Amino acid sequence: MTKSKSILVVSPIPTHPSDSGNRSRLYHLLKKFQDEGFEVCLLFLDKGYGCDYRAMRGEWDGFYGKVYGKGFKGKLVYFSKRLLGDIAPGSLGFIDSLISRLPSHGKYDPLQIDAWYDSSIDEIVCKLKKENAFDVVLVEYVYLSKVLELFDDRVVKVIDAHDIFSNRHVCFQDRGKAPVFFYTSPEEEAKGFSRANLVLAIQDEDAEFISELSDVDVITVGHCPKMNAENPVGFLRAPPHRSLYVATNTVPNQDAMDFFLDNVWPRVLRCHPAVQLHVVGGICHYIRRRVDDDDNVHLHYLVNDLSSFYRDDYIVINPVRIGTGLKIKNIEALFMGKPLVTTSVGAQGLKRWINEAFLVADDAENFAIQLIKLLSDADACNALSKAALMFSSEYRREYEKSVNDLISRLT
């Protein structure tokens, strides 16, 4: 009998609950490994953003959790976020939100690639390495790439990039916000990628950038949600009267809601006074006070099953203006055949489908025009739904091909 392959996954992202794009993508990728016969051991580096330890222990072949943070400051941030989460569930973006509101006219020097690396994880990784004959080690995010140096050449070393961090701080400063999360220079990011045998890029544009930055082998592995549309094509006999926004409570999503509620929503209401905006996810905590008196806005906070929303007659919006990488909430909406209005930032990785499977607008006036058009025209919605399903079929084929390529490289 062929021995099953064993993979150690080192991740600051939990797989449970899968209530954000990066969590959902990681969960489905690891399940694919299990389906292909891999034994999956997850070392979760807990930064205090909320997770379900019991569910993760039950899901994976091995599970270990460790409080993660470099030095006293890192531990303080961890326990602050845990405390805030206990007091007000969904407010885990509070600290990042405060940081982003600092004046952004200061100078932000790119971080060194190992600036966030907590060397205390070396001990547990070495312990796991002695107890298990891992064939593959997969690290989530390049800023944790230093852990790969603990393994010799008998182990295949993989970085799941998720995003490009080179000069990432610039997109925040361009919107007048202090940068949050990790950012570095191209030279430092190249140093991190060079530690791997293989890098997984989430979209082709990222793969091209990494290939120009480093000699490391790169393949694109996007995100393929396990969602099935239930006859959405032609389901609208009359124009819809509802729009839907799904988001966690992060700074880019906060900026998106500020932009939409301040500049787009009033224009939409003038044309459609009865239209409803339904908001799902942790972002509800950010906007709840400002929409208290708006009977057209409905907040749903955290829900266990998004498919119930996607099956109804909603037009999905994603007015994101900050960030890089593939927007997984857009992929999920398209896989359910939903009409989608987003921005050029939201369309990253999907550019050849712009204005075919979904609509793009970058300023308030045009965003409102696109949304108003769909709220008035069932045929336009149904045409987008049909194109969205064509997109999802093609994207699924490409995803399966890339994942099969990945599995073959690891076996």
Give the fold, CATH level 3, of 242-394. Rossmann fold (3.40.50)
- Provide the greatest CA pair distance for the chain: 68
193-199 average pLDDT score = 98
* pLDDT at res. 22: 87
Least confident span in 143-147, 173-177, 195-199, 339-343? 173-177
347-355 average pLDDT score = 94
44-67 average pLDDT score = 91
Per-residue pLDDT band for 89 (boundaries 50, 70, 90) equals: very low
Assess whether the region 6-221 and the region 242-394 belong to the same CATH fold: yes
Residue 3 has pLDDT above 70, yes or no: no
Residue 347 has pLDDT above 60, yes or no: yes
Mean pLDDT for the chain overall:
87
* pLDDT at res. 75: 46
212-229 average pLDDT score = 87
* pLDDT at res. 85: 44
141-147 average pLDDT score = 97
Residue 73 has pLDDT above 50, yes or no: no
Least confident span in 1-10, 59-68, 82-91, 129-138? 82-91
Query: Across the strands, what pairs with 201?
Result: 220
385 with 235: CB under 8 angstroms?
A: yes
* pLDDT at res. 227: 62
Residue 91 has pLDDT above 60, yes or no: no
Decide yes or no: CATH 3.40.50.11930 for domain 6-221: yes
Tell me the two tokens of residue 321: 């203006």
The domain limits of the chain are 6-221, 242-394
CA–CA gap between residue 99 and residue 251 (Å, rounded): 9
CA–CA gap between residue 242 and residue 69 (Å, rounded): 42
Q: CA angle at residue 148 from 146 to 150, to 5 degrees? A: 95
* pLDDT at res. 2: 55
247-264 average pLDDT score = 94
pTM (2 decimals)?
Answer: 0.85
Q: CA angle at residue 131 from 128 to 134, to 5 degrees? A: 70
310-322 average pLDDT score = 92
227 with 332: CB under 8 angstroms?
A: yes
* pLDDT at res. 72: 39
Task: Render pLDDT for 375-410 as a digit per residue (tens, 0 to 9).
Answer: 999 999 999 999 999 999 999 999 999 999 999 999
Counting Cα atoms < 13 Å in the Cβ hemisphere of 23 gives 16
361-373 average pLDDT score = 98
Query: Across the strands, what pairs with 41?
Result: 8, 62
